[in-house]
A and B are shown apart, each in its own frame.
Chain A
């Protein structure tokens, strides 16, 4: 139904979409996920030309809408959009919001349009609000009216641009259940969302967007359970990370500790975990410090919100050697502490670098 090829879009010098190629088939529900600022909304807005793409082609039912001759307003009637900020027409009542398009654009008689609108309002559960004005509705109600307004135009596809991001948490579910119902009825939809559980339930296909590309795509199972690529994994597991670079033995320990504490606070880690993490980092660095002349050490701490795990990665240049097995150590005390705090320690030689991965024990 929609065939997108090599779509690109930039705002000034900022490249938002690099090269997007995808086909959306009738009846498909596509969830588009990914970190903020990776072009998810822009992609959706390019689809109905609210933002004009800089390159590539978009064909709808075989018609290239980027062609100067294409009747874009007519094509837009087939693919309506639900916005993050609802955008209900504030000077019109709920009923008029639903009937304006059908009457003015599709030439439907006002009476028929109202009958249809009433039906749709019943569908979204807001029949009794028909005479109210948008400013008298709650956020969730507004969004349901906006969905009904789209449906009133009998679209072939609905584009949802973060439909629940502007909503109170208490109102998210009323909107999601309306969308779920549409999915069940076979509506073709493309949904940009941050609601992962919802995306997993409702979608047939999930697109993970990053770096201005469709970074990984697949069924909900593939994306949510066995993501293949690193960034997808990090995103799915909601990994937050912290990196610190040490290039001499005289590094500022206090500044680094402060930054680590700051990171822990942001992730709302318990005090005990914080102390253990600092202790672990300190003991590890004790081992590394004698060998820091002329080499560089990259320290990374990654916290997975979903798995609730903390993982430390230390990468150092230099000859291949596992620092924990070398004989510089004055005693075994530091090593014992590290083994106690860690659940799993792994050493690898990657890209000419010594990589030590330490997974912190959960109970701590």
Chain B
């Protein structure tokens, strides 16, 4: 316990120096002219990225998956400006007093709903619905309610959705306030959330959101995992090659976010003097906005639960599968031995993220399968390759004489293995197995790619609302550490239990 506390304190200390060390001010950008050789942040695969490369060929362009990552980077001085869509930029400037928007737009573009090629009937009805919403003023009203310059709460329409019928699966990247984000009840909402519900209501179909990484949306659409993408996606020429778009429902612009000049931010900081020391006060504020507000701790708890479920189930699956692969690997028959060797070398030589996406978008492309299950399968398969080799070294490490003694006593090969070799193997491999297990727990942080809301994804969602990079990340780091620590304790308990001598010491104590 002592060492746990110590670690937590050490992490806090390092982060404290990091945070304070990063708050140096630089000369600000006031026009596009200034940005020519600047460090620019853009969203991966967005039209903003193309614009940035075309208009600022000498600038250093960095791509980010999510806007809050870019915001964290500009705040810590790693970027000079961010190029992104107006609604997102508006949101960022509202929540970050030290940032502002440059008034002119860099580029105009259309936001539309993406749909799989060949799905023409649905495309036609969507086009019809968008025309209706345009003509009856609904889209204008939505724009007024969701794209606000102040921080007053959003007013959302109450839309009745049918309970029965073919589910319309909507792909979103809900880290893009105000288009799509997760509200205090854990629902996907925003301008596009509402639009999706309106469409569902008009089509008479229930809807289901699939919240995934932005770059994973188009593969998901193509593989049939989702029916539509409604998440402020620009109908770019590049994307039109792979998917179809409806008529635009929103006329968008690319704008640039820059830092306010140093004097302006200094003035703002001077106002906020209170009794608490500034560091503690900022922690308290961060805690409130990241954890308490909008019941965000529920997101964290749900994420935590998902992370634990995936880790534990993947470990169980991986162990069982690993035992099978190990059995095949140790067989003298080439028919069993060779596939196991191939399995082990392929699975160990492939990043688990790639495996995860392959299973989700290719193997189970046309099957409606829970992404959590896919994560369990992918991590289980990956874990199996490692555990199979761990088991093999463990089994081969047991002296051949032990097996011979068992057999000559009258045990069969199988009962010798179960009664004599296996207990010795377990004791031998637990330390290595433990390490592999911990690394699995941490590896699960990538499941956000296939729309699973785990601990890391929960922190992404929170960061997308609060634009506070540090607090959610530190908190998630501590939580991962705690999970690993607790799970490690349980394995260590097992390790102690399988040490035969512990039994005797207990007897001696009693």
Contacts and interface: CB of A to CB of B under 8 A. Distances in A.
B503 to A, nearest CB: 8
Contact of A87 (B399, B411, B412, B504): B399
Interface in B290-322: none
A134 to B, nearest CB: 10
A200 B411 CA distance: 34
A92 interface: yes
Contacts of B500: 91-93, 133
Contacts of B404: 50, 81, 83, 87
B490 interface: no
B407 A50 contact: yes
Contacts of A101: 409-411
A159 B409 CA distance: 11
- The listed residue with most A CB atoms (<10 A of its CB), out of B404, B408, B500, B504, is B408
Interface in B481-510: 500-501, 504, 507
B45 interface: no
A8 interface: no
B423 to A, nearest CB: 5
A166 to B, nearest CB: 11
A80 B409 contact: yes
Nearest to B404: A50
Interface residues of B, number: 22
Interface stretch (A11-19, A70-78, A214-222): A70-78
Contacts of A89: 402, 405-406, 420, 424
A105 B411 contact: yes
B96 interface: no
Interface in A110-152: 131, 133, 146, 149-150
B415 interface: yes
A33 B272 CA distance: 97
B419 interface: yes
Interface in A144-194: 146, 149-150, 153, 159
A100 interface: yes
A204 interface: no
Interface in B399-449: 399, 401-402, 404-412, 415, 419-420, 423-424, 427
A76 B504 contact: no
Interface in A45-102: 48, 50, 73-74, 76-77, 80-81, 83, 85-93, 100-101
A136 to B, nearest CB: 9
Given A93-B504, A133-B500, A153-B409, A104 B402 contact: no
Nearest to B508: A131
A153 B405 CA distance: 13
Contacts of A74: 410
A91 B401 contact: no
A73 B410 contact: yes
A48 B507 CA distance: 38
A148 B406 CA distance: 15
Contacts of B399: 85, 87
A50 B424 CA distance: 21
B429 to A, nearest CB: 13
Contacts of B407: 50, 73, 76
A105 B408 contact: no
Nearest to B399: A87
B397 to A, nearest CB: 12
Nearest to B503: A93
- The listed residue with most B CB atoms (<10 A of its CB), out of A90, A131, A150, is A90
Contact of B405 (A77, A88, A91, A131): A88
B424 A91 contact: yes
A105 B429 CA distance: 28
Nearest to B427: A91
Given A133-B500, A133-B501, A85 B401 contact: yes
B410 A87 contact: no
Interface string B195-235: 00000000000000000000000000000000000000000
Given A83-B404, A90-B402, A153 B504 contact: no
Given A90-B424, A91-B500, A77 B402 contact: no
Nearest to B504: A131
Interface in A249-292: none
A76 B411 CA distance: 8
Contacts of B406: 89
A76 B409 contact: yes
Contacts of A105: 409-411
Q: Which 7 A-B pairs have the closest CB atoms?
A: A77-B410, A87-B405, A87-B401, A81-B408, A76-B410, A101-B409, A91-B423
Interface of B: 399, 401-402, 404-412, 415, 419-420, 423-424, 427, 500-501, 504, 507
